[in-house]
Amino acid sequence: MLSDLLQQLDDGQGWLIPWWTKPPQEWDAIEEQLRENWNERPTPLAACLLSMVQFRRIKYSQSAQNKNDAIVEISALSKRAQVMAPDEDLPLIIGALGKLLSGADGAEIRLPLHQVLERSPGSLMARYVLAVEGNLNGRQDEAIAMLAALLREYPDNLLLNGYYSSALIEAGQLEDARRVADQMLEIDPGNHDAYDSLRAISELKADWEPAADYAGKMLEIQPNVISSHERYIQDLQNAGMDDSLTKAVNTALRFFDDSSYLLGVKGSLLLTVGEFERAESVLRKALELNQGNYQAMSLLGSCLMHLGNAEEGLPLLSKAAEAVPDDYNSRFRLAIGYGMSGDLAMAVEILNQLIEEDPTDGLSYFNLANAYHLAGNDQAALKYARLAATFLKDDPANLVDAQKLIKELEK
């Protein structure tokens, strides 16, 4: 495989290899071989190749430290390569990519790329990186125009097409982006970037089942990458495909049993079916792995409330809602927690805030009706129960409960 990469680099297309589509175990071996080659024969080409495999670490590593180490190494290697080969384009371009990843100022990124284009006006690589920089720094129209010009020269280049589709999505040109993605699948029926674009378009349109289907295809291509599992699981959650979700979470945890996110989703599923003891164990582990997983914290608080441990549960619910004040679920769970603890006034206050933000929130109306009923204000309870039934027509289980409450209050 390494000889193939070197051959493609010699042909001027090596930088366009979609590094991230290769299985991680293959790239670990490649990185080891390239590092050994660099240590034995430190050439500009060896430095650039070793820099390029670091992009995989940046894209897929779950550790911020690993990503930062990769950026630092790319910068150091590109500088060594520039010293060894001051007249070569590739070290300058790799250096510009390193600056881009480190969040450097746009002018600092563009300078070496313009130096390359002064001596190599047709450099595909430099023009591509300029387009990426423009798109990431808010000059989307400029980036889209540059990518379109490149594709007139290289119409079947899948990496260019993939980034072009992504840029069109960011600019809101969804139908054009879909057309590009469909063309990519004609060239390569299993293309990861094409499915990624189609997934993103479906998500923006809230078409969750197609989004989950595309995410599933991406997972088939990259089964060893945790972000592939996470995307699929998120879309299954949004689509309400609970049976598939449970299976997907259990499969992912067989490979990534130390993922706080996956454990949080597992705990949520257990909580939903009333397995509170198991949910508590799973959610505590999720929180141990990542104290900043506020969804897991909120879910654990809710779980503890159900287990009768309000002393520990309510502070967790409150802390999670404070940490992510724009998160509906955390605030809703806090309201329910206050209701379970007997503090109906606080429950009513939060539920009214949620309804003010979304007057069609049937679930909050229903819980507000229950709170007023417990407080002895059946007139207000009936009002909100009827509103709940109006807005819960697409939620059969809760609709039935709302209708039962209405009948009880009308007696």
Write the CB contacts of 299 (distance below 8 Å, at least 6 apart in sequence): 264, 267, 268, 271, 279, 283, 333
Is the model's pLDDT at 384 over the cut of 80?
A: yes
Confidence band for 92, pLDDT divided at 50, 70 and 90: confident
221 Cα distance to chain centroid? 17
Is the model's pLDDT at 405 over the cut of 50?
A: yes
Is the model's pLDDT at 297 over the cut of 50?
A: yes
User: What was the pLDDT predicted at 283?
Assistant: 96
User: What was the pLDDT predicted at 270?
Assistant: 94
Nearest to 255 by CA among 235, 277, 279, 228: 228
Distance (Å, rounded) from C-alpha 330 to C-alpha 8? 51
Is the model's pLDDT at 255 over the cut of 90?
A: no
If one compares 98 and 61, the residue with the highest pLDDT of the two is 98
User: What was the pLDDT predicted at 128?
Assistant: 87
Confidence band for 315, pLDDT divided at 50, 70 and 90: very high
If one compares 249 and 43, the residue with the highest pLDDT of the two is 249
Residue range 163-189: mean pLDDT, rounded: 94
**Residue spans of alpha helices (H) in 61-157:** 64-84, 89-101, 106-119, 124-136, 140-153
Specify whether the CB–CB gap between 154 and 13 falls below 8 A: no
Is the model's pLDDT at 177 over the cut of 70?
A: yes
CB atoms within 10 A of CB 59: 14
Confidence band for 7, pLDDT divided at 50, 70 and 90: very low
**Residue spans of alpha helices (H) in 171-191:** 174-187
User: What was the pLDDT predicted at 398?
Assistant: 83
User: What was the pLDDT predicted at 23?
Assistant: 55
Is the model's pLDDT at 289 over the cut of 80?
A: yes
Q: Tell me the pLDDT of the chain averaged across its residues.
A: 86
Specify whether the CB–CB gap between 197 and 162 falls below 8 A: yes
If one compares 25 and 347, the residue with the highest pLDDT of the two is 347
Nearest to 15 by CA among 178, 124, 107: 124
Is the model's pLDDT at 175 over the cut of 80?
A: yes
Q: Is the domain 353-411 a CATH 1.25.40.10 member?
A: yes
Tens digits of per-residue pLDDT, 256-281? 888 999 999 999 999 988 999 999 99
User: What was the pLDDT predicted at 248?
Assistant: 94
Specify whether the CB–CB gap between 94 and 74 falls below 8 A: yes
> Which 3 state secondary structure label does DSSP give 174?
helix
Poorest-pLDDT segment among 8-12, 36-40, 138-142, 304-308: 8-12
As a residue count, the chain comes to 411
User: What was the pLDDT predicted at 6?
Assistant: 47
Distance (Å, rounded) from C-alpha 365 to C-alpha 351? 8
Which range has highest mean pLDDT (89-98, 275-284, 385-394)?
275-284
User: What was the pLDDT predicted at 39?
Assistant: 86
Distance (Å, rounded) from C-alpha 148 to C-alpha 161? 9
Identical fold at 257-342 and 353-411? Answer: yes
| Phi, psi of 224, deg, nearest 5 | -100, 10
- What DSSP line would sit under 340-392, residue for residue? HHT-HHHHHHHHHHHHHH-TT-HHHHHHHHHHHHHTT-HHHHHHHHHHHHHH-
Distance (Å, rounded) from C-alpha 287 to C-alpha 270? 16
Tens digits of per-residue pLDDT, 121-170? 888 888 888 898 888 888 889 999 999 999 999 888 888 899 999 999 99
Residue range 112-120: mean pLDDT, rounded: 88
Is the model's pLDDT at 109 over the cut of 70?
A: yes
If one compares 100 and 151, the residue with the highest pLDDT of the two is 151
Is the model's pLDDT at 3 over the cut of 70?
A: no
Is the model's pLDDT at 184 over the cut of 90?
A: yes
Give the domain 257-342 fold: 1.25.40
Confidence band for 214, pLDDT divided at 50, 70 and 90: very high
User: What was the pLDDT predicted at 62?
Assistant: 61
Specify whether the CB–CB gap between 170 and 176 falls below 8 A: no
Confidence band for 347, pLDDT divided at 50, 70 and 90: very high
pTM (whole model) above 0.85: no
Tens digits of per-residue pLDDT, 46-76? 787 788 777 777 766 666 777 788 888 888 8
CB atoms within 10 A of CB 291: 10
Is the model's pLDDT at 377 over the cut of 80?
A: yes
Nearest to 285 by CA among 256, 247, 259: 259
Instruction: Give the residue extent of every domain in the chain.
Output: 1-120, 257-342, 353-411
User: What was the pLDDT predicted at 22?
Assistant: 55
The C-alpha angle 92, 95, 98, rounded to 5 degrees, equals 155
Residue range 107-130: mean pLDDT, rounded: 87
CB atoms within 10 A of CB 53: 21
Poorest-pLDDT segment among 26-40, 47-61, 355-369: 47-61
Nearest to 47 by CA among 81, 72, 14: 81
